[in-house]
C-alpha cells in the first residue's frame, strides 16, 4: 500500500483507539522506498506503541520529513528509531505533547561509538507534558542543531535541560541525568543562532539556575 502512497506529503491520524503501529517494516522489500512525506501529525492514539516498527531503514527512506507533531499517545515509549533519526536532514520542527515518551530516539544496541544526531534545519523543539521523558537518547551522545531558535519545555520534570560547560562526552554522566542541550551549543556565535528558550513552569530542579 505504501508503494501507492509514496508521493504523500501530509499525513494526519487522530482518534484511532486501536492503532498500535503507523509504519511497519517487514524486511521483504528489496529496494528502499523514498517517501515524500513532509508533515506527520498523530493525535489521541492511546494504544500507539510505535510510529516506525521493525527496521524501517531497510524498507523506507523518510529523509524528507520536515514536521512531526505527536500528542496524546499515552503508551508511546520513544519517537524515532535510531536508523530514522540518523537520516532526518530536513527536519524543521518537533512537537511532542501529553505522551508516555521516555526517550526521543530509541537506543541502538549495536552502536559501538558515541552517536551524533545532526539536524541541520531544525529550528523548533517543543516538549510539553511529558512526565516520563528523561533524555533525547538513553546513553552518551551528541546532539547538533546549528539553527535551533525555539525550545519550549513544559512539565517535563525528569528532563535535565542544559549540560554545564565543564562536562564533556568523556564525563561519567548517569543515564538519568543526561541533559537535552549543551550550553556551549546555544551560545550566540557566527555558527549558531541565538536560542530563545520558553521555560514555563515546572522545569527539572537542576535547570532552575536559568
- 2 part of a folded domain: no
- 71 part of a folded domain: yes
Cβ–Cβ < 8 Å for 84, 62: yes
- 76 part of a folded domain: yes
User: Which domain does 46 fall in, by range?
Assistant: 10-207
Report percent pLDDT > 90 for the chain.
49
- 106 part of a folded domain: yes
Sequence-ordered list of residues with C-beta below 8 angstroms from that of 75, at least 6 positions apart, any chain: 46, 47, 48, 49, 100
Number of domains in the chain: 1
- 3 part of a folded domain: no
Would the pLDDT of 5 be above 90?
no
- Which letter, b or e, does each residue of 69-80 get, where b requires 16 or more Cβ atoms within 10 Å of its Cβ? bbbbbeebebbb
Q: Closest Cα to residue 6, out of 37, 31, 30, 28? A: 37
- 34 part of a folded domain: yes
E-strand ranges in 129-199 read: 135-137, 142-144, 150-154, 162-163, 181-182, 196-199
Name the pTM for this structure.
0.80
Residue 54: CB atoms within 10 A of its CB come to 16
Low-confidence winner among 42-51, 54-63, 75-84, 163-172 (lowest mean pLDDT) = 163-172
pLDDT reported for residue 161? 79
- 126 part of a folded domain: yes
- 136 part of a folded domain: yes
List, in sequence order, every residue forming a beta bridge with 23; answer none if it has no partner.
52
Amino acid at each position: 500500500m505504501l508503494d501507492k502512497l509514496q508521493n504523500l506529503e501530509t499525513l494526519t491520524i487522530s482518534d484511532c483507539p486501536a492503532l498500535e503501529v503507523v509504519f511497519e517494516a517487514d524486511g521483504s522489500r528489496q529496494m528502499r522506498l523514498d517517501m515524500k512525506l513532509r508533515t506527520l501529525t498523530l493525535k489521541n492514539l492511546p494504544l500507539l506503541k510505535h510510529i516506525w516498527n521493525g527496521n524501517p531503514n531497510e524498507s523506507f527512506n523518510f529523509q524528507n520529513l520536515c514536521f512531526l507533531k505527536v500528542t496524546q499517545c499515552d503508551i508511546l515509549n520513544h519517537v524515532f528509531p535510531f536508523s530514522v533519526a540518523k537520516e532526518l536532514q530536513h527536519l524543521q520542527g518537533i512537537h511532542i505533547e501529553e505522551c508516555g515518551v521516555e526517550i526521543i530516539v530509541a537506543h541502538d544496541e549495536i552502536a559501538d561509538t558515541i552517536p551524533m544526531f545532526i539536524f541541520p534545519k531544525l529550528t523548533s523543539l517543543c516538549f510539553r507534558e511529558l512526565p516520563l521523558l528523561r533524555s533525547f537518547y538513553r546513553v552518551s551522545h551528541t546532539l547538533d542543531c546549528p539553527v535551533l531558535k525555539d525550545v519550549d519545555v513544559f512539565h517535563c520534570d525528569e528532563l535535565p535541560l542544559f549540560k554545564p560547560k565543564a562536562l564533556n562526552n568523556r564525563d561519567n554522566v548517569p543515564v538519568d541525568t543526561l541533559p537535552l542541550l549543551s550550553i556551549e551549543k546555544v551560545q550566540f556565535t557566527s555558527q549558531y543562532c541565538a536560542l530563545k528558550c520558553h521555560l514555563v513552569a515546572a522545569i527539572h530542579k537542576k535547570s532552575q539556575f536559568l
